[in-house]
Amino acid sequence: MTSRPTRSERPITPRLRQTLIPGLFCGLLIAALPACGSITILRGTSGALVSSEQPHRLDPDLRTRIFDSEDKNTADLVLSDLPMEVLTDGDAWQNATGQVIHARMFVKPRPGRTPIETTACTVTIRYLVLAGDGEYGLYAGGGFLIPNGAPEGSKFSGEIYNATVRLVSATPGFKDLIGSGRLDIDFSTRRNAEAVKRATRNADFLAFAALPVADHPLLVNDE
């Protein structure tokens, strides 16, 4: 049986393994992602996204923490500093200022069957930064999620570590202050199927409406 690595033993790797990626997010996880920054979110409290490229950081107060699951191997987590009434209202997102993390566990790791190593990938990440006035940026990537049990009850908790994210799309006026970084989260969530459905639908809409990085007027040739 492979033992779970401690925080001090987890190396920061420069590349995500491009395996085990579910359909919708395959395109978000193909590129190699640097892993020099970090998010550290204490269970049920707050955290900080530290850029690996620029001297900036984000400090979300994740007051809203919900999840839903279809079976014991998959789960959708939504963590945000937006209040529930804003998170579930698509119109309110247009002028909101805040951050929304959508993490999808697509396989529950099993010792001896699932590779438990820092380059494995069992969770996809979408990190939306809402800048107000309709401007926003979408950071995406993936990493490894170790759950505390199966997501079958009213509560679900665990840890995401060694996930890397980078900016993949944004609105024309969004100013990127992060670029790319590393994500580590200790999370504790409550089941709320309807709220997760609405929040992820809102995130889907923004993701498809934003400009890919290659077409962004503020980011192209901005060395």
Q: State the pLDDT confidence band at 160, using cuts at 50, 70 and 90.
A: confident
Per-residue pLDDT at 154 = 96
On the question of pLDDT at 1 being above 90, the answer is no
Residue 188 lies in a domain: yes
63-84: burial string, b at 16+ Cβ within 10 Å, e else: bbbbbbbeeebebbbbbbbbee
Per-residue pLDDT at 220 = 52
What's the domain range around 188?
A: 16-215
What share of the chain in percent tops pLDDT 90? 44
Residue 165 lies in a domain: yes
On the question of pLDDT at 159 being above 60, the answer is yes
Residue 206 lies in a domain: yes
Per-residue pLDDT at 24 = 37
Per-residue pLDDT at 18 = 34
On the question of pLDDT at 205 being above 70, the answer is yes
Query: For the chain, what is the mean pLDDT?
Result: 77
Sign of CA dihedral 189, 145, 184, 171: negative
If one counts the domains in the chain, the total is 1
User: pTM for the whole thing?
Assistant: 0.76
